[in-house]
Amino acid sequence: MGGAAWALFAGISFGVFQAANRRANQLIDPYRATFGLLLVAVVGLGVFSVATQDLSLLASAPASAYLAFGTAGIIHFFFGWTFLGISQQRIGAANTGVVTAATPFIGSILAAIVLDEALGPLVLLAIVLVSAGVVLIARRSGAGDGRRLTYPWFGLAASLSWGTSPLFIRWGLQDLASPVIGVTIGLACATALYAVALISGRAPTTSGRPHGVRRWLLLGGVLVAVAIAAQWTALDLVEVNVVVTLQQVATPVVVIVAPIVVGTAIERWTWRLIVGMIAVIAGSTMVIWAN
């Protein structure tokens, strides 16, 4: 299977994962749901790393590589996935999926600022498109007057986390040239930190373990582990902009799948959702190719 096919497969897997994750945090709080997904994913990626990677790289890697990958994992998984779960509970998986489609756009802007990577002249138009898409996804609320907008801050926070983590991944890869090992280290750090937060009572969890939640956690964890492995396989075969562009398929996938899996009114398709999705994907894709 070629790199483009792997990237497309990763995007579809990420989209279905978001729907499964929403189903899990529909049953329990987003903190326990995120920890369960992390636990399954780190085991899956650990097995994949042992089977496919040169583990001797771990012995020769400096502490800075572990620090960079660990920081990337905490930003991407501990914070990013937590924000994802909270956002899904507040505005639904479909709306959250559209907002998080702004991740490549945010990542490109941050890379331009921090890594001095140039952006093309299409960036201004991309900013307008992404901003318009996010505004369309904003939920109207307040005293029935329909005039106040509640912006999807947690979805944007997830995008900010996912757009920031590649900076640390880039720094980590300078000293340990294995993205799969790197992301496994990051997942392990995020999982360990989540365990500490849950044990210490820092995360506001709810009680009870509803029937069927383990099935959704297992499905979500397996899906995201497969998606990450497919993503990095694609990155090893084709250009980054091809991979990131094709992974944008995750957004329409979650928009289509979420109403089926979750089955709540908040997941229904609306013109604001569809137009916002088109605007965000178009803006992010323009930045990817301009870069």
pLDDT for res 144: 44
Going by C-alpha positions, the residue among 117, 78, 79, 83 that lies closest to residue 100 is 83
pLDDT digits (tens, 9 = 90+) for 166-208: 778 878 888 888 888 988 999 999 999 999 988 887 666 565 6
pLDDT digits (tens, 9 = 90+) for 228-251: 878 777 766 776 666 777 777 888
| HSE (side-chain half, CA atoms, 13 Å) at 131 | 6
What whole-number distance in Å separates Cα of residue 158 and Cα of residue 130?
Answer: 15
Long-range contacts of 209-212 (CB under 8 A, 24+ apart): 209/28, 210/27, 210/28, 212/27
DSSP line for 52-95: HS-TTHHHH--HHHHHHHHHHHIIIIIIHHHHHHHHHHHH-HHH
The 3-state secondary structure of 215-267 reads HHHHHHHHHHHHHHHHHHHHHCCCCHHHHHHHHHHHHHHHHHHHHHHCCCHHH
pLDDT for res 115: 64
Coil, strand or helix at 211: coil
Cα distances (Å, whole numbers) of residue 116 to 48, 111, 165, 168: 34, 7, 16, 15
Strand partners, 140: 149
pLDDT for res 163: 80
Low-confidence ranges of the chain (pLDDT < 70): 1, 111, 115-120, 123-124, 139-150, 202-211, 235-236, 239-242, 264-265, 288-291
